[in-house]
A and B are shown apart, each in its own frame.
Chain A
Amino acid sequence: MMLETATDTGKERFKTREMSLIGQAPAKELDVRMETRDLSVRYGQVKAVKSVSVPVYNKMVTALIGPSGCGKTTFLRALNRMHDLTRGAVITGKVLLDGNDIYHPKVNPVTIRRRIGMVFQKPTPFPTMSIFNNVVAGLRLVGIKDKKFLNEVCEKALTSAALFDEVKDRLSSPGGSLSGGQQQRLSIARALAIEPEVLLMDEPTSSLDPQSSARIEDLIHELKENYAIVIVTHNLQQAGRVSDYTGFFYLGELIEFGETEKIFTNPVNRKTEEYLTGKFG
């Protein structure tokens, strides 16, 4: 397409785009943290994501919904270059972080991933590390040794992840000794410890019980004060509860994107409506 300059903020563009999608300009001034432009991902011959352009606003939660296999997780993983290790994954189009393409050949994926954190579907504590070492892994393993600093970061991250009070007396026990819900919050704390700017969450509550899920949802509400959050979820109620913006994916395409309230109450696209009313998916 014609989008060669990687420096414009894209705000204007998405204002107009949203108008065309939901028929009305957003009420408040939005700060675009990330955006994709005609982002496509294909595995060999299979196109998993087809030319998706979508903004990620700062201090907002963007939910990606859609039936299984619709490409939403694949899309999410493209946002912090997680596909770099996937054999046969080909990515075209652009992913801009503050206007700069993260797939530019001169960009180091490691620095990108320090700015764009990720929480996975399954809790993934490092099995051989203590709770403390799990949280500060992203700092300690790149050479930060200042114990006092690490302690501070650890406490702050665990507090943000609403886990500190539960584990403060056993920071040296293994990360794997926690319950599933606690492990997931540990994974979130670990992601927060490196102070990313954007937080990607891939179905963060799908392997948790309802109580733990509720805690994570509360947490998302608190975290969005400081981060841009993108969350992939199968749970429509959850998307409705936690997100400000929602994108509906179907067969690799972004069918509809807009304010969550509008998408849920008055979707423009017939497919979106059918999905939200449970006709398929």
Chain B
Amino acid sequence: MIAIEERVSLKRRNLWGRFMVMLLVLSTLIVMIPLLIIIGYVIINGIGALNWEFFTEELGSPARAIQGRPTGLVHTIIGTLVVDTMALIIAAPVGLGAGILLSEYPDHRLNPPLRIINDTLNGMPAILKGLLAFSIIVKPMGTFSGLAGGVALAFVMIPIIARATESALMSIPWSIREAGLAIGLPRWRVVLSTVMPAARTGLVTGFLIAFARAAGEAAPLMFTSFGNNYLPRHWTGMIFGPVDTLPQRLYSLAISPYREWHTMGWAAGIVLMVFVIGLFITARLMTRGRRY
């Protein structure tokens, strides 16, 4: 028998190995470069507008910025948190329920259609979800509102939460469920009291990722929460009246004809970026924990 060494030399195989690793490093760099460019570019352009007032003042009219009077995006930051939180409150139970059905009830007859619907919803352009919220909330209410924005973003979050919930639950070994069934627990109780607590880190991570993804959406908010240059006089205005949000404000500032507002748009970009990246890093750190 001819030894392998005589067919393909060890040296050549080592060379191939190194070449392949180099290719991997190259593609990693290509993935990282756009991210670094975005981060760098946004910071360079926006850092000038980031001052104390940016976080404490409302935007007001363009004149404020042009004349150098105090102006900021406090109403936008608050609005973003309010709208996104509303969306999460709506989406979390629905997405969680769908995820549990996907993972724990594979025999249920709604399981296959739910999987298809969820994937379709996930792939559907966000602007269409805005359209949906427009037709079911904005039209009947007769006004743009934070609630409509929350509903639109909830449709963005639901399929993400459902998928994350499913995979978080699936990562828990089947033996845990059998152990629960074997001591005479009903199936729902097994899921609720043994599987879900074991998967809680994964579940929370799913919420965070969905939150971060939705927080970056501008399109569905354009004709739902619409935007607002001021804080509503009363907090209920955040829910039932037009509300400002970061991605939509970023867009409005960017297409405005004022140089000062352009800089503020970049600054809004920094805030949004820090917010979203912060969420993703938190989610990432959380999943580093225990594995079963």
B237 within 8 A of A: no
Query: Which of B176, B182, B194, B292 contacts A82, CB < 8 Å?
Result: B182
Q: Given contacts A127-B198, A141-B193, are A194 and B178 in contact (CB under 8 A)?
A: no
Q: Which residues of A contact B186 (CB under 8 A)?
A: 110
Task: Tell whether, in the assembled complex, residue B181 and residue A82 are in contact, meaning their CB atoms are under 8 Å apart.
Answer: yes
Query: Which of A110, A122, A128, A190 contacts B175, CB < 8 Å?
Result: A122
Q: Which residues of B contact A124 (CB under 8 A)?
A: 175-176, 178-179
How far is it, in angstroms, between the C-alpha of A118 and the C-alpha of B179 when the chains are bound?
Answer: 8
Query: Which of B106, B177, B183 contacts A138, CB < 8 Å?
Result: B183
Task: Tell whether, in the assembled complex, residue A127 and residue B189 are in contact, meaning their CB atoms are under 8 Å apart.
Answer: no
Interface residues of B in 198-253 (CB under 8 A from A): 198, 200
Query: Which of B107, B181, B198 contacts A126, CB < 8 Å?
Result: B198
Task: Tell whether, in the assembled complex, residue A120 and residue B182 are in contact, meaning their CB atoms are under 8 Å apart.
Answer: yes
Task: Tell whether, in the assembled complex, residue B292 and residue A127 are in contact, meaning their CB atoms are under 8 Å apart.
Answer: yes
Task: Tell whether, in the assembled complex, residue B184 and residue A126 are in contact, meaning their CB atoms are under 8 Å apart.
Answer: no
Task: Tell whether, in the assembled complex, residue B185 and residue A137 are in contact, meaning their CB atoms are under 8 Å apart.
Answer: yes
Fill in one digit per residue for B84-104: 1 if any A CB lies within 8 Å of its CB, else 0: 000000000000000000000
A73 within 8 A of B: no
B180 within 8 A of A: yes
Interface residues of A in 96-141 (CB under 8 A from B): 109-111, 113-114, 117-118, 120, 122, 124, 126-129, 137-138, 141
Task: Tell whether, in the assembled complex, residue A187 and residue B185 are in contact, meaning their CB atoms are under 8 Å apart.
Answer: no
A46 within 8 A of B: no
B197 within 8 A of A: yes
Q: What bracket does the count of chain A residues touching chain B fall in?
A: 20 to 34
A142 within 8 A of B: yes
Minimum Cβ distance to chain B for residue A274 (Å): 33
A279 within 8 A of B: no
How far is it, in angstroms, between the C-alpha of A126 and the C-alpha of B176 when the chains are bound?
Answer: 7
User: CB-nearest residue of chain A relative to B184?
Assistant: A114
User: CB-nearest residue of chain B relative to A135?
Assistant: B183
Task: Tell whether, in the assembled complex, residue B198 and residue A82 are in contact, meaning their CB atoms are under 8 Å apart.
Answer: no
Task: Tell whether, in the assembled complex, residue A138 and residue B185 are in contact, meaning their CB atoms are under 8 Å apart.
Answer: yes
A191 within 8 A of B: yes
User: CB-nearest residue of chain B relative to A88?
Assistant: B107
Task: Tell whether, in the assembled complex, residue A126 and residue B179 are in contact, meaning their CB atoms are under 8 Å apart.
Answer: yes
Minimum Cβ distance to chain A for residue B188 (Å): 11
Query: Which of A109, A111, A120, A141 contacts B179, CB < 8 Å?
Result: A120
Task: Tell whether, in the assembled complex, residue A110 and residue B184 are in contact, meaning their CB atoms are under 8 Å apart.
Answer: yes
How far is it, in angstroms, between the C-alpha of A118 and the C-alpha of B198 when the chains are bound?
Answer: 21
User: CB-nearest residue of chain A relative to B197?
Assistant: A128
How far is it, in angstroms, between the C-alpha of A98 and the C-alpha of B34 when the chains are bound?
Answer: 70
Q: Which residues of B contact A80 (CB under 8 A)?
A: 182
Q: Given contacts A85-B177, A142-B189, are A191 and B197 in contact (CB under 8 A)?
A: no
Q: Which residues of B contact A129 (CB under 8 A)?
A: 194, 197
How far is it, in angstroms, between the C-alpha of A193 and the C-alpha of B185 when the chains are bound?
Answer: 13
Task: Tell whether, in the assembled complex, residue A141 and residue B189 are in contact, meaning their CB atoms are under 8 Å apart.
Answer: yes
Minimum Cβ distance to chain A for residue B102 (Å): 15
A87 within 8 A of B: yes
Q: Which residues of A contact B189 (CB under 8 A)?
A: 141-142
Of the listed residues B177, B189, B194, the one surrounded by the most CB atoms of chain A closer than 10 A to its CB is B194
User: CB-nearest residue of chain A relative to B179?
Assistant: A124
Q: Which residues of A contact B194 (CB under 8 A)?
A: 126, 128-129, 137
Minimum Cβ distance to chain B for residue A175 (Å): 11
Task: Tell whether, in the assembled complex, residue B198 and residue A128 are in contact, meaning their CB atoms are under 8 Å apart.
Answer: yes
Interface residues of B in 271-292 (CB under 8 A from A): 290, 292
Task: Tell whether, in the assembled complex, residue B198 and residue A117 are in contact, meaning their CB atoms are under 8 Å apart.
Answer: no
Q: Which residues of B contact A191 (CB under 8 A)?
A: 182-183
10 A-B pairs, CB-CB below 8 angstroms? A87-B107, A111-B184, A113-B181, A113-B183, A114-B184, A118-B178, A187-B179, A190-B179, A190-B183, A194-B183
- Chain B residues within 8 Å of A, Cβ to Cβ: 106-107, 175-186, 189, 193-194, 197-198, 200, 290, 292
Given contacts A117-B182, A137-B180, 5 further A-B contacts (CB under 8 A): A109-B181, A113-B183, A128-B194, A138-B184, A191-B183
